Chain A
Amino acid sequence: MRAPLLTLAWKSLLNRGLSVGLTILAIVLSVTLYLGVEKIRSGVRDSFNSTISDTDLIVGARGGSLNLLLYSVFRLGDPTANMGWDSYELVASAPNVEWAVPISLGDSHRGYRVVGTTADYFQHYRYGRSRPLELATGRAFNGLHEVVLGAEVARLLAYQIGDEVVLSHGVGEVSFADHSGHDFAVVGVLAPTGTPVDRSLHVSLESIEAIHIGWDTGMATRADPGEDADALTPDSVTAVLVGVNSPIRVLGLQRQINTYGGEALTAIMPGVALSQLWEVIGAAETAFTAISLLVITVGLFGILTALTSGLNERRREMAVLRATGARPSDIFGLLVLEASSIAAAGAIIGIIITQVGFALVSGAVRSQYGLDLGGGFGLSEMSVLVAVTLAGALLGAWPAWRAQRNALADGLSIRL
């Protein structure tokens, strides 16, 4: 390859601006699609795998580990059973346990799950890279009949501090058993996290007990609940989030809990369970990648069309280049250079568009969906640029070989 070919290739491409421009556009669109899908995909995966972090164990009644993860973290499905309050106290007081936060599920508000917990929840629940929950407005609950809303609940139901909400028994969208007479005041709204926390309402365990007094039969009675502290200590909770002071103690504690004789319990490590779950639902991400790779391939084949269709018209040009001293390899190099320049231009413009585009929307996406779209020019951009340019050169090799063959066959004559 000789340096003079670069300017020749450049001028030749400029001369066929429209068709070259359209070919580049096809590659720009396909590269933009691919990088966009990749960024969103990895953002979603990272956000999913760190739905809950810094929690070493989740403990619940004996059952499947995925089921426990689904109801305790994702607020999906129903717990098979509750675990006793004494088991919670035992776990909380076990050696090496730094903190233990109980959660109690089973109520809802207009389809959103209600989480009964302690104020420690706001301190110890972490997501992403150890990001704590933050209050967008207001404060945490510290008494009965106070509720802290997840970001999505507040946004979609248009609740503000001071609004009153009524909780429903059970978890359906429409409930026929409201806890009427127990209006909860909104005292705080959490900042968006991109986790199921956004779709939860948080109240104290005592509040959960208070609204269920007299519900032992499964429906409301008219009995007036006396609100003394002793009566409001729960008999059972749904699950317990546990933090351990040393990572190497986690496995031992998990085994102890799983084999505990007093009550049938299950303890899971959320990180392990999350990646198991992602293996199930993450199959779709492979499909997305495959499709966007196919789109890039289609875009690249435009190069083949653009170069091959112009080849016969360019026979005279090639004969002139040969006559003025070009080698057959120069003819080959010129066309390969044109092909790879088209591909590289498409890739570079596509990368710029995704960079600028994601820079513009990443703030909004983070605050709306809590999704971290990894920014900046990184390894994936670099490899797309290299791979697309090489693929362009490879695709250009075929028309280039044909042009070289034509030039040899034409000898020193111009086909009129």
Chain B
Amino acid sequence: MSVPAIAITNLRFAWPGSPDLLAIDEFKLAAAESLFLAGASGSGKSTLLGLIAGITPANTGEISVLGEHMDPARAARRDAIRASQLGVIFQLFNLVPYLTPLENVLLPLRFSPERASRLRDAGLCPHQEAHRLLDVLGLDGDGLDRASTALSVGQQQRVAAARALLGRPGLVIADEPTSALDHDTRDAFLSLLTTECQASGAALLFVSHDRSLAARFDRSVELDVINKAGGSR
């Protein structure tokens, strides 16, 4: 088997001065697998995503992303792994307001030379690839050079998805990306996201409290089940 997208062993995490928020003995997300992680708000899911993305350093235990150890002592290394290997989609406000939608899609390339060189090695021009992704996600050409704030929420989420997928990262993390969308837009967005992750070979970690979406993913996990610390709540 290839390297798992996420491998967590014996993770313990608490914010300073608080009791343990996360205690996960074992968690794995296989490469190219899509996983639905269910958890109520406040259950520590955003903290878990921060740990996986390497923004928050773990207290104890080990987190690996695509075989790379997210070393708590090496912040710059974690930032570089995130820039190169991760795509992140938030619930809302995904776009940098002073950049156009197209510039937003190209944003990760500013921080990750590796991501840019991956595109070049594949013989792709970043602009063409960004346009292709936006096109696949149903955003046509006009409007891409205008203010990001002029887009509807659904359009903004799709721009964020295109940004997460640009340069073929191994893992896409989505934190409640559909909770601000209406029913029809949500379904269309979910289909596009899962299809595109599959097409580019990226694993998808999709976090939501809305369990009705779970059926659309390869596998579904309850955070409260894997998190021993959360059981006390």
The answer, yes or no, to whether B220 is at the interface (CB within 8 Å) is: no
Q: How far is the CA of A15 from the CA of B163 in the complex (A)?
A: 21
Closest residue to B81 on the A side, CB-wise?
A325
**Option from B50, B56, B80, B95 in Cβ contact (under 8 Å) with A325:** B80
Contact B79 A325 (CB under 8 A): yes
The answer, yes or no, to whether A321 is at the interface (CB within 8 Å) is: yes
Closest residue to A412 on the B side, CB-wise?
B50
Contact B108 A324 (CB under 8 A): yes
Contact A414 B93 (CB under 8 A): yes
Contact B98 A14 (CB under 8 A): yes
Q: How far is the CA of A328 from the CA of B75 in the complex (A)?
A: 9
Contact A326 B90 (CB under 8 A): no
Contact A412 B110 (CB under 8 A): no
Closest residue to B98 on the A side, CB-wise?
A15
From residue B110, how far is it (CB to closest CB) to chain A in Å? Answer: 4
The answer, yes or no, to whether A327 is at the interface (CB within 8 Å) is: yes
Which parts of A286-327 form the interface with B (CB within 8 Å)? Answer: 316-317, 319-327
From residue B184, how far is it (CB to closest CB) to chain A in Å? Answer: 23
> Which residues on the A side are within 8 Å of B151 (C-beta)?
none
Interface size on B, residues (CB 8 A): 36
Binds B, one of A4-12, A213-221, A222-230: A4-12
The answer, yes or no, to whether B30 is at the interface (CB within 8 Å) is: no
**Option from A316, A327, A412 in Cβ contact (under 8 Å) with B79:** A327
> Which residues on the B side are within 8 Å of A328 (C-beta)?
75
Which parts of A1-24 form the interface with B (CB within 8 Å)? Answer: 2, 4, 8, 11-12, 14-16
Contact A325 B96 (CB under 8 A): no
Mark contacts of B79-123 with chain A using CB atoms, 8 A cut-off: 1 yes-contact digit, 0 otherwise.
Answer: 110111010101111111111000100011011100100000000
Contact A12 B98 (CB under 8 A): yes
**Option from B82, B98, B111, B173 in Cβ contact (under 8 Å) with A330:** B111
The answer, yes or no, to whether B53 is at the interface (CB within 8 Å) is: yes
Q: How far is the CA of A326 from the CA of B83 in the complex (A)?
A: 7
The answer, yes or no, to whether A416 is at the interface (CB within 8 Å) is: yes
From residue A315, how far is it (CB to closest CB) to chain B in Å? Answer: 10
Which parts of B34-93 form the interface with A (CB within 8 Å)? Answer: 46-47, 49-50, 53, 55-56, 75-76, 79-80, 82-84, 86, 88, 90-93
Contact A324 B88 (CB under 8 A): yes
Contact B110 A416 (CB under 8 A): no
> Which residues on the A side are within 8 Å of B53 (C-beta)?
323, 412
The answer, yes or no, to whether B175 is at the interface (CB within 8 Å) is: yes
The answer, yes or no, to whether A96 is at the interface (CB within 8 Å) is: no
Contact B93 A320 (CB under 8 A): yes
Closest residue to B90 on the A side, CB-wise?
A414
> Which residues on the B side are within 8 Å of A324 (C-beta)?
83, 88, 107-108, 110-111, 163
Contact B55 A15 (CB under 8 A): no
Mark contacts of A387-416 with chain B using CB atoms, 8 A cut-off: 1 yes-contact digit, 0 otherwise.
Answer: 000000000000000000000100111101
Mark contacts of B9-53 with chain A using CB atoms, 8 A cut-off: 1 yes-contact digit, 0 otherwise.
Answer: 000000000000000000000000000000000000011011001
Interface centre among A14, A15, A325 (most CB of B within 10 A): A325
Given A4-B110, A327-B79: A412 touches B94 (CB 8 Å cut-off): no
Contact B55 A327 (CB under 8 A): no
Q: How far is the CA of A323 from the CA of B96 in the complex (A)?
A: 12
From residue B35, how far is it (CB to closest CB) to chain A in Å? Answer: 17
From residue B138, how far is it (CB to closest CB) to chain A in Å? Answer: 22
From residue A112, how far is it (CB to closest CB) to chain B in Å? Answer: 65
Interface centre among B76, B80, B92, B96 (most CB of A within 10 A): B96
Q: How far is the CA of A12 from the CA of B98 in the complex (A)?
A: 6
> Which residues on the A side are within 8 Å of B84 (C-beta)?
325
Contact B111 A412 (CB under 8 A): no
**Option from B79, B83, B92, B96 in Cβ contact (under 8 Å) with A416:** B92
> Which residues on the A side are within 8 Å of B79 (C-beta)?
325-327
Listed in ascending order, the chain B residues whose CB lies under 8 Å from chain A are 46-47, 49-50, 53, 55-56, 75-76, 79-80, 82-84, 86, 88, 90-99, 103, 107-108, 110-112, 115, 163, 173, 175
Residue pairs across A and B with Cβ atoms less than 8 A apart, 29 shown, are: A2-B111, A8-B110, A11-B103, A12-B98, A14-B98, A15-B98, A317-B96, A317-B97, A320-B90, A320-B94, A320-B95, A320-B96, A320-B107, A322-B55, A323-B55, A323-B86, A323-B88, A324-B88, A324-B107, A325-B82, A327-B111, A328-B75, A408-B55, A412-B49, A412-B53, A412-B88, A412-B175, A414-B91, A414-B93
Nearest first, the 5 A-B pairs at minimum CB distance are: A325-B83, A15-B98, A325-B111, A411-B50, A4-B110
- A-B contacts besides A11-B103, A16-B98, A323-B90, 8 pairs, CB < 8 Å: A14-B98, A15-B98, A320-B95, A324-B83, A325-B112, A408-B55, A412-B46, A413-B175
